[in-house]
Amino acid sequence: MRHYKAATQLLVISMFWPSLAGSILFAAQTGEVRPLEKRVTELLSKMTLEEKVGQMTQITLQAVSKTRGTATQKHEISVEKLRQALTSYHVGSILNVHDVALTLDEWHELITRIQDIATGETRLGVPVIYGIDAIHGANYVVEATLFPQSIALAAARNPELVRKSAEITALEVRAAGIPWNFNPVLGVGRNPLWPRLWETFGEDPYLISVLGEAYIKGLEGEDNDISAGDKVAGCMKHYLGYSLPLSGKDRTPAWIPERMLRDYFLPPFKRAVDAGVHTVMINSSEINGIPVHSDHYLLTQVLREELGFEGFVVSDWQDIERLHTRDRVAASPKEAVRMAVMAGVDMSMVPFDFSFYDHLLALTKEGSVPEARIDEAVARILRVKFALGLFEKPYPNRQLRSHVGSEESANLSLQAAREVMTLLKNDGNFLPLSRQQKVLVSGPTANLRSVLNGGWSYTWQGNEESLYPRDKKTILEAVAEKAGKENVTYFEGASFEEAVNIAEAVDAARSADVAIVCIGEDAYCETPGNIDDLTLPAAQLELVKAIQSTDTPVVLTLVQGRPRVITPVVADAKAILMAYLPGPEGGRAIADVLFGDFNPGGKLPITYPRAPNDLVNYDHKPVEMDDPNKLNPLFQFGHGLSYTQFEFSNLHLSSRRIKPNETLQATVEVANTGERAGDEVAHLFIQDEYGSVSRPVRQLVGFEKVRLAPGESTTVEFIIVPDQLAFHDRNMRFVVEPGTFKVFAGPGASDILEATFEVVVN
């Protein structure tokens, strides 16, 4: 009877979760169980249903707080609420802050209090896994190092820089006692209106895949040994298709055909799974009418069975409940829980109460959710907790604090900020500026630290100016340091939305040699960053036009998380510098570039539109190149100027004919023909000339950054692999079709060398 029961349980599991059934069957047949699996199995066998459901429950710190943290008020935990959560509801995970960053001492006190109760006052002593959104550094740790946001790092085209920033982030998050980071964002940023664009690595799947892998390896280590004291578990997000809302507004529907979903949006997540990432967070919205939190196809069939993901799945903020309250695909909150868990969600970010726990417990007891599914989810969660070493070391390692906010880390942040700077225009080599010039500095982003960082900076929105360290310079302060305070005049001119003192700024411009006008966006994050018009607000454009009318040369500095339309002021600007959200060292980096102490080498990771309704990406389809549909961006993907000159030559292919399963080597020579050292990025694109479905006119398949001295040259080598030639055909088969391919090499998506090769069947 015992063998029959076991076989029956395995059959039930295999019907819904074949990957788990396979691993159980393998262990049963071979008698081999990995030590970690043995620990998971043993602990799971001791747990009550209530304890298991508690492990799947995640609450926000606010749910167990006595007082909210603000710029002027210290956060306090409610020990009574915390004890109830951990001992009565067996909660397995806590996240977030309430509502401002904590010091290391405060984090140590908080995490210690949590783990004291979790490990000392519960029956089995299972530690809590604490999660945090450390998006551009450990941004909720007061003493930590912050970096440029992801959209900016993508402009640097430097995977090693991304990896190092993630290494520092991991160490500083761990130093606070937190082992789990909700990053990287692997959404493919195809809609520039979307307020989370700056959390992505841009619009190209390959670029995102490479940088996402680098970030994960920085967080988790090359071998993904997250038990290391300076590593954390990564969380790829937001799976899947979140970054293409039709309206451009956050958490609104996406309509993505299956072919597009697989060819554009899935590859970065596949690369992350192959890189060993331990957790995944789900898209808050819906694709083609199906909320992703309820989609068994995406969460189980694709993520688990196709991609082979073995970690655990966490919901996003309150999104399971929203299957009922907002999406209306579940007739009750209880049904919403059943749908999400059966679809494949392992942990619910509830986050304010214990409703998920109550509903899931009832569902399991009545048989609507098999306990085998609960065991599967809890086993996945326990694996990560064991892998992190939380059972051995649940408390913060106070010895790490000496490494937090180090000078070395700050220098890396400064280097990163310099490398992301993207020079979009430089008429007549107007830049760099002379230190002897009289300078007007104006614009709403000129004298604020918050705008250099954006959201996820000390607070969720990042707009609490008083929390930013005063030793980090604003653009105005950094310019004044370069040119001398006596040579610099400042008038704000306009706020983000309204004119302030434009007349005074214009008067000052008349007596200046150059006007540096700093425009862009205030700090924002997620839904509060929704906009109705991609055009930069009228007050800022009015300020620029007014200063341009004086005939004083104008240098525009763009501090923004997405490419706001600035077309009316581009023609009369002498130079335009795209700074993105460059982080706390951004002021210094901008001044370094403007005055020539650093030669810019950043490249756009997005297509910069000329008009609000001309939002086509660089890898568009051939029909979008036909008149009158011809793509006409303001600046192309990959665009970025330098203070020196580079030449590309001798594009060579290892073969002109290959089979569908063969690789191809491409080499190109890059030479610095100018008079100063500089960075250049060699991009390699392909074009499938004819396909069974229409193919993009360009697809990025490689990039490499090189630093060259004047007169120096180098040969850059790329390997094109079969998957880069493949796509989903009319029958949704992932294939490499025979035919002619073009290869393009150069600094960006235009002005490039060209060669051809043929894929042959025989």
SS3 of 297-316: the string is HHHHHHHHHHCCCCCEEECC
pLDDT at residue 354 greater than cutoff 70? yes
Q: What is the mean pLDDT of residues 720-747?
A: 96
What span, in angstroms and rounded, lies between the C-alpha atoms of 319 and 327? 9
* 423: exposed, middle or buried (Cβ count in 10 Å: 0-12, 13-18, 19+): buried
Q: What are phi and psi of 734, to 5 degrees?
A: -85, 105
pLDDT-derived band at 81, boundaries 50, 70, 90: very high
- Of 66, 112, 104, the C-alpha closest to 400 is 104
Which residue's entry shows tokens 């048989």? 367
Q: What is the mean pLDDT of residues 325-336?
A: 98
pLDDT-derived band at 625, boundaries 50, 70, 90: confident
* Region of poorest pLDDT, from 17-31, 156-170, 645-659, 722-736: 17-31
Report the pLDDT value the prediction gives residue 19, as an integer from 0 to 100: 37
Q: Which residues pair with 756 in a beta bridge?
A: 742
Number of Cβ atoms within 10 Å of the Cβ of 62 = 16
Report the pLDDT value the prediction gives residue 54, as an integer from 0 to 100: 98
Q: What is the mean pLDDT of residues 337-342?
A: 98
Top CATH class of 33-402 equals alpha beta
pLDDT, tens only, 200-224: 999 999 999 999 999 999 999 999 9
Positions marked active-site = 316
Which residue's entry shows tokens 């508690």? 54
pLDDT-derived band at 752, boundaries 50, 70, 90: confident
Q: What distance, in Å, lies between the first and last C-alpha atoms of the chain?
A: 58
Q: What are phi and psi of 642, to 5 degrees?
A: -140, 165
CA 251 to chain centroid: 16
Which two tokens mark 186?
Answer: 């692997």
- Of 166, 152, 246, 156, the C-alpha closest to 199 is 152
Architecture per CATH, domain 421-612, reads as 3-Layer(aba) Sandwich (3.40)
Which two tokens mark 100?
Answer: 């401002």
Report the pLDDT value the prediction gives residue 748, as an integer from 0 to 100: 84
DSSP strand pairing (286-287 vs 290-291):
antiparallel
- What lies within 8 Å, CB to CB, of 600 at 6+ separation is 421, 422, 423, 577, 593, 640, 641, 642, 643
Name the CATH code of domain 646-759 (choices 1.10.10.10, 1.10.3720.10, 2.60.40.10, 3.40.50.720): 2.60.40.10
The beta strands (E) that lie in 355-487 are given as 422-426, 439-442
- What lies within 8 Å, CB to CB, of 440 at 6+ separation is 488, 489, 490, 491, 505, 508, 509, 512, 514, 515, 516, 547, 552
- Of 302, 252, 253, 255, the C-alpha closest to 280 is 302
Upper half-sphere CA count for residue 28 (Cβ side, 13 Å): 10
Q: What's the Cα-to-Cα distance from 352 to each of 272, 356, 668, rounded to whole Å?
A: 30, 10, 56
* Region of poorest pLDDT, from 60-69, 130-139, 617-626: 617-626
What span, in angstroms and rounded, lies between the C-alpha atoms of 322 and 335? 11
What span, in angstroms and rounded, lies between the C-alpha atoms of 57 and 49? 13
Report the pLDDT value the prediction gives residue 216, as an integer from 0 to 100: 98
pLDDT-derived band at 64, boundaries 50, 70, 90: very high
The angle subtended at Cα 384 by Cα 379 and Cα 385, nearest 5°, is: 95
Mean pLDDT of the chain: 94
What span, in angstroms and rounded, lies between the C-alpha atoms of 351 and 283? 16
pLDDT, tens only, 432-457: 999 999 999 999 999 999 999 999 99
**What is the pTM for the complete model shown?**
0.94
Which two tokens mark 213?
Answer: 């892998």
Task: Name the residue ranges covered by the structural domains of the chain.
Answer: 33-402, 421-612, 646-759
pLDDT, tens only, 457-493: 999 999 999 999 999 999 999 999 999 999 999 999 9
Sign of dihedral through CA atoms 635, 641, 646, 651? negative
CA dihedral 412, 418, 419, 423 (to 10 degrees): 170
Contact 662, 705 (CB under 8 A): no
Report the pLDDT value the prediction gives residue 10, as an integer from 0 to 100: 34
SS3 of residue 287 by DSSP: strand
Contact 702, 725 (CB under 8 A): no
pLDDT, tens only, 555-599: 999 999 999 999 999 999 999 999 999 999 999 999 999 999 999
What span, in angstroms and rounded, lies between the C-alpha atoms of 280 and 292? 13
pLDDT-derived band at 33, boundaries 50, 70, 90: low
Which two tokens mark 116?
Answer: 């004291």
Which residue's entry shows tokens 């920033």? 165
Report the pLDDT value the prediction gives residue 762, as an integer from 0 to 100: 76
Q: What is the mean pLDDT of residues 44-51?
A: 98
pLDDT, tens only, 271-280: 999 999 999 9
Q: What is the mean pLDDT of residues 618-623?
A: 93
Report the pLDDT value the prediction gives residue 230, as an integer from 0 to 100: 97
pLDDT at residue 1 greater than cutoff 60? no
* DSSP run (H or E) holding 502: helix 502-510
Q: Matching CATH topology for 33-402 and 421-612?
A: no
* Region of poorest pLDDT, from 97-111, 395-409, 614-628: 614-628
Contact 561, 521 (CB under 8 A): yes
- Of 650, 731, 726, 646, the C-alpha closest to 686 is 726
Q: What is the mean pLDDT of residues 503-511?
A: 98
Report the pLDDT value the prediction gives residue 626, as an integer from 0 to 100: 80
- DSSP per position, 604-661: -SS-B-SSTT----TT--GGGGSTTS----SB-TT--B-SS-EEEEEEEES-SEE-TT
pLDDT at residue 22 greater than cutoff 60? no
pLDDT at residue 161 greater than cutoff 90? yes
- Of 123, 184, 176, the C-alpha closest to 149 is 184
pLDDT, tens only, 641-667: 999 999 999 999 999 999 999 999 999
SS3 of residue 688 by DSSP: strand
The angle subtended at Cα 108 by Cα 106 and Cα 111, nearest 5°, is: 105
**Residues of the chain with pLDDT > 90: what percent?**
93
